[in-house]
Chains A and B, each alone.
Chain A
Amino acid sequence: MESREDIWANAMKAERRGDAAAYEWLLGDIAKLLRVLVRGRLSRLGMSAHETEDIVQEVLIGLHTMRHRWDVDRAFMPWLHAIVRYKLTDAMRRRRREARYRYDLTLEEWSNVVEAPREDADRALIDLDRHLGGLSSGQRTVVQALTIEGASVRETAEKLQTSEGAVRVTLHRALQRLASVAGVAPPKPSKGKL
């Protein structure tokens, strides 16, 4: 059986011959490994796993830019290891720095500032709840996921174990219903956005 070193080194050599398929496979294989590494690192640092793919992509782009500087006479794995370690350290350090600059707005500060129109804010929330209450439970779940939680159509479809098309149809019907309750014309479906 071939070792990973041989397989990956051969794919790197194939890339130089213009073999896009072999190179695509190689990057995909490395991405799988990176995903595991990054997720572990993020959770150990107490950071959210949201940015896993961003970091994976940063490392892959770094590898891609430097790919022709790998010396084919030398082992590939140690070379890759050094690059991955560097790019991961860099990505993590940057994110931790950003996290430090992130404004830490406490609930107390927030409520001091927004004290005056407080009842209005509560009313708006109550209204929202009431309107959503007029929807069927399926429609409510979809609207909540897409508009309030900010999930994508695909994620919602996966969560509800249905197709993306079904999610879109449900949303469309829910919006029509909400619009008729509010007494306005239903909004035009924005295909591009969803």
Chain B
Amino acid sequence: MKTAGDTDLMIRNLAGEAGAGQARSSPSFESTLLLAAILSLACAIALVFATFGFQPELQATLVSAPFHHKIVSMLTLAGGGIFVVRYAGKPGSGALALATVLPGLALLLIGAISDTSGFPLMGRSDISVPSCVTAMVLLSLAPLALIIGVLKTGVTTRPAMAGATAGVLAGALGAAAYAFVCKNDGGLFVAVWYSVAIAIVMGFGALVGRRALAW
């Protein structure tokens, strides 16, 4: 059992370290996070092309409306994800930041509602769903590690939640990269299965964050 006197003594010791151990001129949490997100996206895209190769229809894909829908909604979601991760890594930020994922989700929803392509929900082939979801999840793992690493330089006061936010950002980035080779253009397919992949990464992020981001 410790007494208030012990605490006073400890406080005196801690006060002796005043001013020591400051990381001078280190970049802000925000700029580190932004850099990590850009790097993550670049890595994921590089990984996509390294794995799937440059397919002949790539040129056509890049100018197609479904690709634009996928990439814009995923990047919008990732943009919101950056604010959400910042919220998780900086105590005292307003919870309003959580609303920044809404535009990305709204785009997915609009895509699903306005889907007149007639493509089935389960994709163009039997393995569409498992292969797409698995690919997106795997592409998101390196980004997830990177973003959790950034969160460790912040102050996370809700470790599991912080890990989940990192999962949303990493999942959106991985899905954005996957859009370059995705052949399923149905709005409903994208809305459901891209979301499922991101949710899996989010859950994984929460599990990892619970331990990795506790201090």
Q: Which A residues form the contact surface with B (CB < 8 A)? A: 14-24, 27-28, 31, 35, 50-51, 53-54, 56-57, 60-62, 64-66, 68-71, 74-75, 77-79, 81-83, 85-86, 90, 152, 154
Contacts and interface: CB of A to CB of B under 8 A. Distances in A.
A18 B7 contact: no
A68 B15 contact: no
Contacts of A69: 29, 153-155
B11 A65 contact: no
B interface, by DSSP: helix, strand, loop or mixed?
loop
Contacts of A75: 92
Contacts of B8: 28, 31
Top 7 A-B pairs ranked by shortest CB distance? A18-B19, A78-B92, A82-B91, A24-B15, A86-B157, A53-B2, A79-B92
A62 B22 CA distance: 16
B7 A66 contact: no
12 contacts: A18-B18, A23-B14, A24-B18, A27-B11, A31-B4, A53-B4, A61-B14, A71-B29, A78-B92, A79-B91, A82-B155, A90-B214
A64 B17 contact: yes
Nearest to A18: B19
A14 B8 CA distance: 19
A15 B92 contact: no
B16 A68 contact: no
Nearest to A15: B18
A16 B92 contact: no
Interface in B1-60: 1-8, 10-12, 14-23, 28-29
A23 B91 CA distance: 21
A24 B10 contact: no
B85 to A, nearest CB: 15
Contact of B19 (A17, A35, A66, A71): A17
B59 to A, nearest CB: 46
For A61, A64, A66, the residue with the greatest tally of chain B CB atoms inside 10 Å of its CB is A64
A52 to B, nearest CB: 8
B90 interface: yes
For B1, B16, B22, B91, the residue with the greatest tally of chain A CB atoms inside 10 Å of its CB is B91
B14 A51 contact: no
Nearest to B3: A53
Given A19-B18, A35-B4, A83-B91, 5 more contacts: A18-B18, A50-B1, A79-B90, A82-B91, A82-B157
A20 to B, nearest CB: 4
Interface string B64-108: 000000000000000000000000001110000000000000000
A73 to B, nearest CB: 10
Contacts of A14: 18
